Amino acid sequence: MENKIQLITYPDSLGGDLKNLNKVINKHFKDVIYGVHILPPFPSSSDRGFAPLTYFKIYEDFGDFEDIKEIGENHAIVLDIMINHISKESEYFQDFLNKGEKSKYADMFITLDKIWEDGIPVKSDVDKIFLRRSKPYSEFIIKETGERKLLWTTFGKNDPSEQIDIDINSPYTKELIDKIFKFFSENKVKMVRLDAVGYVIKKLGTSCFFVEPEIYDFLDDIKKTANLYNIELLPEIHSHYSIQYKLSEHGMYIYDFILPYVVLSTLIKKDNTLLVNYLKDRPEKQFTTLDCHDGIPVKPDLDDLIDSKEARDIVNICLERGASLSLIVSDEHKDKDGFDVHQIRCSYYSALSSNDDAYIAARAIQFFVPGIPQVYYVGLLAGENDEEAVKNTGEGREINRHNFTNEEIEECLKKDVVKRLFKIMKFRNEYDGFNGKFNNLKCENNKISMEWVKDNLKCTLDIDLKDYSTIINYIDEIGNNCSFKA
């Protein structure tokens, strides 16, 4: 993957479908976007694509794989595999639901007798699990026999869940994964994000999240499959930052899920201490983000990096600015004082009180910190909280999932903050100095200074946190000293 900025977007969020997405990118974002991470465009029964029925089709309202290939002609495509689960409406689970153990797909799912000998969950084991819902299983009735079956379901608001966990040890699952990678490769996909990969290992006596060393065995196997088809992997794991570092040591790309909160705190408190300390020891083979389709990570990503009192202060400021919260379910994984915020749900622009200068400073920091930057489509257009969508759907995450019409895109492009953002993005993509050596320069608590050096090229970012003024100085290819206010 080239060290240039990627866009994260739903297939229908910029113009309504994949054809329009391609037109919008080519018309408006050609100089500022290199790669495109298209959030799940597949037929899905819930969770806006994250409960896929199949990976071999595109939901018909979005287009088809020819549209994916067309985008891939000019942009590196990233797609998701929800490696932990599949929709209960998929042909695989529906066959199992009809036939039970007679189904050729039966072994693909995790009936609880694969975990507990008698198939009955034990409370002491469940209490140790990092829960994403009140219980990690759902009950289903097999249609042919009337037999009651309990199956592992990590995610899902409803009971029974729409998202059925799959058994990664099943030969059929392994065959299916291979087929998906082969198909993606044929359709110009360059990278696969392994969504929810931290939950794939189920082992009694553990949290059933990022279970070591088994998780590495799985990642090694799937990496071999991806390599066969020249596809790179990006594991998506929200956990203690030390786990991200372990993944990096294992040769994987990782997400910098720490940076969004650190930048937000730095700008709100007008103090660089947290950011400077974080940048002292950090893997460089990362994808950086500030915003995404879920929220700004807090726990467990930043455990041991921040204290809960400081975090409560930042969270409360975001709540005043219209945010909502995703909370930790398991008591065992909350802080001792009860602090339980998993993610802050809001647009990043709104989290910064729609302050243009603060927002530009935030993006400048992201683009200078080592890693491949990803910009979420709402952030690309400096979008604000969509409170109406939350009211209409009852889904808190919709606050940062507004679908922009072509007319709305045109209006957003007129905003001064968007023009300023695009100027920095274009510079970040074109200036070769970002492929050199990074230095985080020492400065006062209320200032930020970072630089990149490669041969005769050098660029420096200077931010004054008192007023968020942002200056980029650089030496061009013929040795001239240049500067611009971001």
Residues identified as active-site: 195, 236
Burial of 471 (0-12, 13-18, 19+ CB in 10 A): middle
- Token pair 């298209």: residue: 38
Q: Are 327 and 315 in contact (CB under 8 A)?
A: no
**What are the CA-CA distances from residue 45 to residues 33, 335, 340, 393 (Å)?**
30, 34, 29, 15
Q: Are 163 and 51 in contact (CB under 8 A)?
A: yes
Q: Are 111 and 149 in contact (CB under 8 A)?
A: yes
The Cα 212–Cα 197 span in angstroms is: 13
- What's the longest Cα–Cα distance across the chain? 79
Examine residue 260 and say whether the peptide bond preceding it is cis (omega within 30 degrees of 0): no
Nearest partner of 94 among 43, 159, 140, judged by Cα:
140
- Token pair 């153990």: residue: 101
Alpha-helix runs per DSSP H in 73-151 = 91-99, 123-128
H or E element that contains 216: helix 214-228
Adjacent-strand bridge partners of 235: 194
